Structures are given as structure tokens and as C-alpha cells.
Structure 1
Amino acid sequence: MQCLRLKPLLLILLVQLLTTSLVYAEENKKPRFSLDREAVQSRLNNVDRLINTSSGARRVSEGSEQAKALRGQAANHFQKAQLYYRSDNMELANEELQQATLIMFQAIRLVGTGEVGENKLKNDYQKKRSSLQALLEALQRVAVEKQTPSPETGKIIEQAEAADRLAAAGKIKEAQIQLDIAYETVKQEVEKLRSGDTLIRSLVFASNEEEYAYELDRNETHFMLVKLLLEDRDINAGTQSAVDEYLAEARRLRKLADKASEDGDFEEGIKKLEDSTKQIVRAIRRAGVYIPG
């Protein structure tokens, strides 16, 4: 009998323990913010920008009534946060700032990217599309130059055209994904075909002038690759400085090559062009992109 009386008590204790654990777990889900006065002031400034001056705030101000109402709620929480801050209650100030932030993000999601966001997506697409076209033309030119057609060229063109169709249909994000695939493929193909030195050395030129023209084209192609291969890379200041030094030397050598050719010394011009191209290859590799050469 005593055992039976203990079971309800154990059940009650178990429920209490489970409830306490759930509450504790829920509390630990909440983000923890610093109670330092300067830290809270920084959060106040950030949330103020989010609600009043950010690009998202501008879109909300031109959006639906529901979005505007949410922004109003966020502003109310922000005002309460300011009051708590002035009364030195940093904990409650943080809670109100968190509510203001969550509600404002809800309002921003409601209006979507808006016209500004759509225009940016379109501009980004056009920039990368132009880069893709330039790389594709380089691929085709190098393929003819080396008499080694790339089997991927047709696929790249199809991918680019598919991306253009998606963009024309207003599906700009899907178009960007398709374009990225084509862009990466054409970069890889250009790098493969520009393996340069072994095959170049096997070519026979009718004159030094003809070889100079060939090396000039090769040098210009590499200068183009600098922009196309490095434009999307996140390069730190030290690496960028090294890349700039290599490119400055490449341009200096190119000028010497131009001067030599003007004087009719094509042999010296060829040497300077080759040296210039080597500096460009070093610049590209220093930035973290391997190309043969």
C-alpha cells in the first residue's frame, strides 16, 4: 500500500522535473546580449537604422499596409527599449530591441527585395553575362589558335542561352544560377587551353614579326584573364598589393616590348612580351587561381 501511495508523488516530482527542464531549455534558446551600457547603445543605433534608414525600411515605407503596420510595431518596441535604456534597465532594453528587430525583419520579408533589389539582381546578371561572353570569345580564339577545339563550347553556349531565357521570363535568380554554371565551365576551359608553353614552343613562325604578333595576342589575352578570373575573388590587402606589383611589372615590360617592335627589334620585343606574360601568370596565381604557363 505504501508503494502505491508513493507512485503519485513520484509522478508529480517527475512532471515538475520535466517542466523545469523544458523551461530551462527554452530560456537557453534565447539570445544572450551584453548588459554593458555601450553595447546596448550600439544595438540601439543599429536597430534605429534598421527601422528608419535602411534600404529595407525604405521598401517597407512603400509597401503594403500590413508591412507598414509591422514597422509601426517595431518602432513601438524600439521606443520602449529607449525608455528602459534611460532608466538603466539593460536587460529589458535588450528584450525590446530583440522584438523590434524580429518584427522589422518580418516586415522586410513581407515586401521582398523590391524594385531596388530586383534592379541590382538584373545589373549583376548583365555584368556576369558580359564577362561570360568575353571569356567565351577568348576560349574560341585560343581554340582556333591552338587548333584544339573545346568540347565544352557548345554546352557553354546552351547554358548561357538558357540563362537568358530565364532572365527574359523574369526568373532572374534562377537565371543567375544557370549563368554561374556556364561561367565556371568557361573559366576552366580557358585555363586548360592556355597551357601555353609546351605547345607554343612547338609552333613554327615564318618570321620574328609573325611570332611577335602571336605573343602580343597571348599577352593581351592574359591581361583580359586578370579581370575575368579575379573580379569575383575576395583578396586581402597583402595579396592585392603583391598582385598589383606583378601587374605593374607586366605593364612596364609590355611598354618595352612595344618600343622594341617600333624600332624593328622584334626578337627583343618577343622576349619582353614573354616576360610580361609570365608576370601576369604570377599575379593570377598569387591571387589563388592556378593557370598553367
Structure 2
Amino acid sequence: MSKKSQAAICALLFAGAGVFMSANTFAQAQSGRVAATYEGKERENFSRLVDSAKVLNQALKRVSEQKKIGNAKLIAEIEQKIRMAEAAAADGRSGEARVMLEDAYLTSKLAIVEVTKGSPVAGQSTAGAEVMNGKQHKEYSARMESTKALRDALSRIATEKDDAKAKAEVSMIDKLMRDADANVAQNNARQGRAVLDHAYLRAKVQIERLRGGETLVRTLQFDSKDDEYHYELDRNDTFQMLVQLLVPDESASDPRMKGFLERARGLRSDADGKAAKHEFDDAIKTLEESTGEYQKAIRNAGVMIPG
């Protein structure tokens, strides 16, 4: 082989190596961008959960003071749980953090509904009152079966490992499933679904902990877009309820207030339409915008809330 041919082959090899290195560098860059997007979404999910829990607990405090109901101890316990959740997330225990945050969120919400029983707010759909339609009942039944299956698996693993924390969680999950059924029986369909979803999450997180240790529980992502949509739906209902609880009557006639509420209702209607077509990404985004309008309405009335 001539020196010229050898030089040509070497040049081709170096060129090929350059192409390979460029492709590898590109792939690494792409992987980094995907990871950054995932982490950003995880932080966003966590931030929404924290803000919702804090706002609800603040609302519980205000409503309890207005009605002269002694909920100071409960409110302090919820505040502590939120702080513990933030600490768990900072420590990398994201699944545990989400369980604690959802627990704080649900505890505040159910306490608010209890405090406002007998008032117009407690009887409105914004507090969760809704009769299940056929599709909702089918979805609820499917989630209940999944939760029971996880609960039974958790019970077996907890017994095998003699894990006290997991055994206590089995009892808590049993209670949550009963509470969910009770809410559905009282035509609080959405509230019942929220409680059941929390039971499902608790069982799932505990099984993951027992299988591989706390470090395996990393994600705050939802199991599916449908699950994320249900969370945003509940969050939207809750902020709609908070408008009625936190906004003084004299602010209701303010033109800016009316604008916020009209946009919120219109966006909610748009989101419902998109969800019916299974366009969950757009539905979730539109629901978030609707919830944002309710938040603006509350702040416009002079009530400072997180987020």
C-alpha cells in the first residue's frame, strides 16, 4: 500500500472518529436536556403541592378564627408536616415528601369543609359535592381495586419484614379507603376520589420503600396524565372554594374581580372540553391558568397567599 493510500485511510478513520465523537457529544447533550426538563417538571410539581398545602392551611386558619373554632393545634400540626415534607424533598426522599404534602393538603381541605358545614360553601360543588357519572364511577372502581391490591401486597411485605411503619400505613390506607367510600356515598365524588388517590399513593410509596429502601423513592411525577389532570381538577375546585371563603363580600362587585372569575370559569370550561377529548396536556395547562385566575382574585381582595 502506498504512503498516499495509507494517509487517505488514516484521514478517513480520523474523520469517522470525529463524526462518532460529535454524535456521542450530541447524544450526551440531548440526554442532559431531557434530564434537566424532567428535574424542572419535578420541581414545578413539588412547588405546586407546597403552595396548595400552605394556602389551604392558611384558609383553614382564617375560617376557624372567623367561626371561633379551636383548630390551632391541627393547623400547627399541618404546618409542621409541610416543613417536614420540604426537608424530606431536600434530602432526596421525594416520594415521602409528596405523601406528607398530600396528607397536609387533604387534612386542611377536609377540615375546611367540616368547619363550613351548614354554610352555602359546604353545599356547593366547589367543596367537592358531586354525584358520580358512569365514567367517573368506573374510574373510581378501577382505582379502588388497584389500591386494594397494593394494600394487600403492602400488608404481606410488612408482615414478612416485620416493619412497624408499613403496618401502621396499612391501617391508615384502610381508613382512607373507608373515608373515600363514605364521601362518594354522600355525593362528594371528587373529594372521595382525592382521598382514594392519596391512599393509593401511600401504598405505592411504602412498597417501593420496602423493596429497595428510601433512596428508590425519587419522583414527584404522577402515574399518568389522567392522574395529573385529576389533581389539577381538585386544586382548581379548591381555589374556587377559597375565593368564597377568603374574599370579602364587598370585593365581589369589583370589575377586576369579576374579570378574574369570568376568565377562571371560561378556562375551566375549556379544560373540561379538552379532557373529554383526552387532550390531557392541554387540559392540564388550561386548568393551571384557570387556577391562576382564582389566585389573582384572592390577592386582588388583599389576601396574601403563597405561590
Fold in common (TM above 0.5): no
TM-score normalised by the chain length of structure 1: 0.33
TM-score normalised by the chain length of structure 2: 0.31
Bigger relative CO (Cα 8 Å, ≥ 6 apart): 2
Which structure is larger by alpha-carbon Rg, 1 or 2?
Answer: 1
